[in-house]
């Protein structure tokens, strides 16, 4: 069904074998929410306001971080609560401490993982873990987007899964979206192995680079990564692992498929597919883009550490920016983590393993 | 990346079918319910689902005939079911 007249409602009917069901559906205004922050005070009980250099809230409201206990935080995006008809996605990346990773967590009052729209605010639970799965304090980078922050015509998809052991369509959840109007399909193939499909999104994304971000979203220390992307067939393969031993383990996850950023503003992403290169290389064109039009050059700087230079995307004075990382590829030995340890000018995200890096910006 | 692997996963996911996980609105008693959001954005396209409940309690997503009380507000396209 397609919404047309903002502020109006219509009744939708379904007829099947003599039975009729109906529901009233209203048409709401746009949802271009965007917010991000770099939570830079891991030990502060808070609530505190993170570094303004790496903070943006499209509502103009505050962003505050509160620490509940070791490695357990909540982030409140004031004014970014979900509007009628709105949908949202959140990604979290650990920052700064080698071997530490952070993710969207759950809250005790809600059996499902993920974030909540509370009043006019969006509240995101976050948890950080050391490589052995124990809770630990850490800085982290967080990004939230609404239904269509990059424009109504921009191919985009996202989903938050809920640990189903079968296959489900997530279309009507407020945390899933397929910009083409197709289903948002989720399937579990085996323990820790999942597939997502966004029918129509591959075709809509044809001819433009695609970025896929995946992160576990649960109250456990399990981790998730992208293991396969099949753009022509709208598909993404996801694998989740246990922190100790690296064995496969089920986990809800959050996923974002995007193709570009806000019109006229800095944006870049890359899949750094060469783990061994120490001199710099051109990443796979199908999964790399820079609004500067200049090359993106990842390279390995040490064991499990990498840098990616987005030439021409240095942060202008007074502007803000956000960086997210997601590991790509099959499970690695214990100690494989993803995190950012630097964020200055146009370079210095680091990651254990290969990475895919969308680069959101407010300007 | 591993296209055969994702193809297998996707085949699994599509073949198994399924129903929506979290619904914003479920209207209608057995045997037919529909799953739609309570609101959608202007110019946005959203999938709706019709779910039939069998006597044994099993749920089945079915191909229903969809219509709108006011197509100028919300119209139905061929992907609605």
**Which pLDDT tens digit goes with each residue over A56-69?**
999 999 999 999 99
Contact (CB, 8 A) for A35 and A80: yes
A3, A112, A167 member nearest B42 (Cβ): A3
Contact (CB, 8 A) for A142 and A36: yes
Chain B residues with CB under 8 Å of A228 CB are: 1-3, 5-6, 9
In-domain check, residue B51: yes
pLDDT category of residue B79 using cuts at 50, 70 and 90? low
pTM of the shown model? 0.85
Residue B39 to residue A85, Cβ atoms within 8 A? yes
- Nearest Cα to B3, choosing from A280, A296, A247, A235? A235
The DSSP code sequence of A229-262 is EEGGGTEEEEEEE-TTTT-B----EEEEEES--S
- A361 forms beta bridges with A321
A8, A12, A24 member nearest B66 (Cβ): A12
Omega prior to B31 cis, within 30 of 0: yes
In-domain check, residue B11: no
Regions of chain A with pLDDT less than 70:
107-112, 330-363
In-domain check, residue B42: yes
User: How far apart (Å, rounded) are the C-alpha atoms in residues A286 and A282?
Assistant: 11
In-domain check, residue B61: yes
Q: Is A110 on the interface with B (CB under 8 A)?
A: no
Query: What pLDDT does A26 receive?
Result: 92
Query: What pLDDT does A94 receive?
Result: 93
Query: What pLDDT does A122 receive?
Result: 96
Query: What pLDDT does A334 receive?
Result: 28
User: What does chain A come to in residues?
Assistant: 363
C-alpha to C-alpha distances, A272 to A269, A308, A336, A346, B17, nearest whole angstrom: 9, 8, 15, 16, 34
Query: What pLDDT does B15 receive?
Result: 33
In-domain check, residue B79: yes
Chain A, 303 to 322: residues with Cβ < 8 Å from chain B are none
Chain A residues with CB under 8 Å of B23 CB are: 172
B23, B75, B79 member nearest A182 (Cβ): B79
Chain B, 4 to 43: residues with Cβ < 8 Å from chain A are 5-10, 12-25, 27-28, 31-43
In-domain check, residue B41: yes
A20, A30, A173 member nearest B20 (Cβ): A173
Residue A28 to residue B40, Cβ atoms within 8 A? yes
How many folded domains does chain B comprise?
1
In-domain check, residue B27: yes
Residues 6+ apart with CB under 8 A from A71: A127, A128, A129, A135, A136, A137, A138
Query: What pLDDT does A46 receive?
Result: 83
Q: Which residue, among A21, A161, A248, would best test binding to B if mutated, counting the most B CBs under 10 Å from its CB?
A: A21
Residue B30 has pLDDT above 90, yes or no: no
Rounded to the nearest angstrom, the minimum Cα separation between A171 and chain B is 6
pLDDT category of residue B31 using cuts at 50, 70 and 90? confident
Query: What pLDDT does A348 receive?
Result: 32
Residue B17 has pLDDT above 50, yes or no: no
In-domain check, residue B10: no
Domain boundaries, position B69 = 19-81
Query: What pLDDT does B37 receive?
Result: 84
Instruction: Give ipTM to 2 decimals.
Output: 0.71
Query: What pLDDT does A127 receive?
Result: 95
Residue A15 to residue B68, Cβ atoms within 8 A? no
């Amino acid at each position: 069904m397609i919404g047309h007249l903002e502020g109006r409602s219509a009744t939708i009917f379904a007829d099947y074998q003599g039975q009729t069901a109906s529901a009233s559906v209203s048409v709401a205004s746009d949802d271009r929410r965007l917010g991000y922050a770099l939570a830079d005070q891991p030990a502060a009980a808070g609530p505190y306001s993170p570094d303004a250099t790496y903070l943006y809230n499209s509502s103009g409201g505050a962003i505050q971080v509160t620490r509940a206990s070791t490695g357990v935080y909540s982030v409140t995006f004031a004014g970014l609560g979900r509007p009628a008809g709105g949908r949202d996605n959140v990604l979290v990346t650990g920052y700064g401490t080698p071997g530490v990773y952070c993710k969207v967590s759950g809250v005790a009052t809600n059996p499902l993982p993920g974030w909540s729209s509370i009043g006019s605010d969006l509240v995101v639970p976050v948890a950080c873990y050391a490589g052995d799965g124990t809770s630990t304090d850490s800085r982290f980078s967080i990004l939230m987007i609404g239904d269509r922050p990059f424009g109504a015509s921009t191919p985009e998809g996202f989903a938050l899964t809920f640990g189903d052991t079968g296959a489900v369509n997530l279309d009507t959840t407020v945390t899933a979206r397929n910009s083409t109007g197709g289903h948002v399909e989720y399937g579990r193939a085996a323990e820790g192995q999942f597939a997502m499909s966004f029918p129509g999104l591959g075709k809509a994304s044809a001819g433009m680079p695609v970025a896929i971000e995946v992160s576990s979203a649960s109250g456990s220390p399990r981790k998730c990564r992208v293991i396969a992307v099949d753009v022509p067939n709208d598909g993404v393969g996801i694998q989740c692992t246990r922190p100790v031993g690296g064995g496969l383990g089920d986990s809800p996850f959050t996923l974002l498929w995007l193709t570009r950023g806000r019109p006229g503003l800095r944006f870049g992403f890359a899949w750094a597919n060469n783990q061994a290169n120490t001199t710099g290389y051109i990443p796979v064109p199908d999964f790399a883009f820079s609004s500067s039009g200049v090359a993106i050059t990842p390279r390995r700087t040490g064991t499990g550490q990498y840098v990616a230079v987005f030439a021409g995307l240095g942060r202008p004075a007074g502007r803000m920016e956000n960086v997210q990382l997601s590991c790509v590829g099959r499970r690695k030995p214990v100690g494989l983590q993803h995190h950012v340890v630097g964020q200055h000018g146009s370079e210095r995200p680091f990651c254990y393993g290969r990475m895919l890096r969308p680069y959101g910006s407010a300007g | 990346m591993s296209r055969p692997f994702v193809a297998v996963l996707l085949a699994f996911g599509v073949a198994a079918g399924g129903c929506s996980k979290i619904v914003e609105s479920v209207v209608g008693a057995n045997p037919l319910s529909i799953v739609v959001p309570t609101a959608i954005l202007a110019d946005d396209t959203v999938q709706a689902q019709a779910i039939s409940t069998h006597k044994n309690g099993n749920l089945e997503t079915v191909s229903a005939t969809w219509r709108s009380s006011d197509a100028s507000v919300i119209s139905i396209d061929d992907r609605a079911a």
